[in-house]
Amino acid sequence: MMKKIRKIAVLTSGGDAPGMNAAIRAVVRTCSYYSLECIGVFRGYQGLIEGDFKPMNARSVHHIIQKGGTVLKSARSKEFRTVEGRKKAFKNLQEQEVDAMIVIGGDGSFTGAMVFQEEFELPVIGIPGTIDNDIFGTDFTIGYDTALNTVIEAIDKIRDTASSHNRLFFVEVMGRDAGFIALNTGVGAGAEEILIPEEDMGLKRLLQSLKKSKRSGKSSSIVIVSEGDKTGDNVFELARYVEKNLPEYEVRVSVLGHMQRGGNPSCFDRVLASRLGVKAVELLLDNKFNIMVGLTNNRIETIPLVKAIKGKHNINEELLRMSDILSL
């Protein structure tokens, strides 16, 4: 399907991630550069259904590259999961004479974009924006690097108090289905143990490891726990189990929660978002669509949306092996 692209809609969907604003800025300014119209869709797919649109130009996105969150907002939309809801959304886009759409988000957002494209043949490009870094087809997602830096800073501060009081801290980080944040921050912060969904360590092995740390002379310990880890029912139950079986430890729990999504995006995330935003618009101008644009070996590459959704971004097994060596 060859189509002349004159007007592009851009939206953010799913969980917010630092760098989304940089991606929005790149899309809008690239549209201006190529003399295309651009409209921003507020509140993701729900905004599509309700016609919550705003024309955007180069000046609309000044001073947002450094801001966290998303100026276009994000929201869940049960209605968009229905055929009737998607028909409303497409009708609104038709009334605005939109020729294509760029969706910034994660695999759930891409699933909605793919279904929408298949039903109405509207050209769509996906830009991966999620702190979890769990999207197949890209080495890094927008927001991941900033989240790592946020977690590292928090763990360093927790380490100070852990050392002062000879305590064992369980620090829960985000990652319901993927342990990328936990693994990388665990290595970067020098954690004694790292618990991730991809590897069920088991309670007995965890106890053995902590006993070994105690025997080696460590007066305090940090255990990084991905929220999707299967070692215990939850981080608080895990802490209670360890305290019961290892009474020599004074155990504390810190859940970092949504602070990991906030904050000014790192330079890496700003540059990544800018590169992907520019490329997304240029791909549409080349009549390439229903794909995700990502970064592989520092090169901008594309992958079909269906592969990005169904593929699995595997954990770095070598880094996992190294974490065992470095935790001595």
Q: Catalytic site residue 132?
A: yes
Closest to 83 in 3D by CA, of 40, 60, 112, 43: 112
Instruction: Answer whether 262's CB lies under 8 Å from 18's CB.
Output: yes
Q: Which residues pair with 262 in a beta bridge?
A: none
Angle at 105 between CA 311 and CA 150, to 5 degrees: 100
Backbone angles phi, psi at 319, to 5 degrees: -65, -35
Question: Which residues does 223 contact at the CB level (< 8 Å), separation at least 6?
Answer: 168, 169, 170, 171, 191, 192, 193, 194, 195, 206, 210
Q: Which residues pair with 195 in a beta bridge?
A: 225
Q: CA-to-CA distance for 128 and 320, rounded, in angstroms?
A: 24
Catalytic residue, from 132, 134, 145, 269: name it: 132
The one-letter code for the residue type at 76 is R
The SS3 call for residue 183 is helix
Q: CA-to-CA distance for 155 and 162, rounded, in angstroms?
A: 10
Would residue 183 be called left, alpha or beta, if left means φ above 0 and alpha means ψ between -120 and 50 degrees? alpha
Q: CA-to-CA distance for 56 and 9, rounded, in angstroms?
A: 10
Instruction: Answer whether 173's CB lies under 8 Å from 256's CB.
Output: yes
Q: CA-to-CA distance for 214 and 199, rounded, in angstroms?
A: 23
Catalytic residues: 132
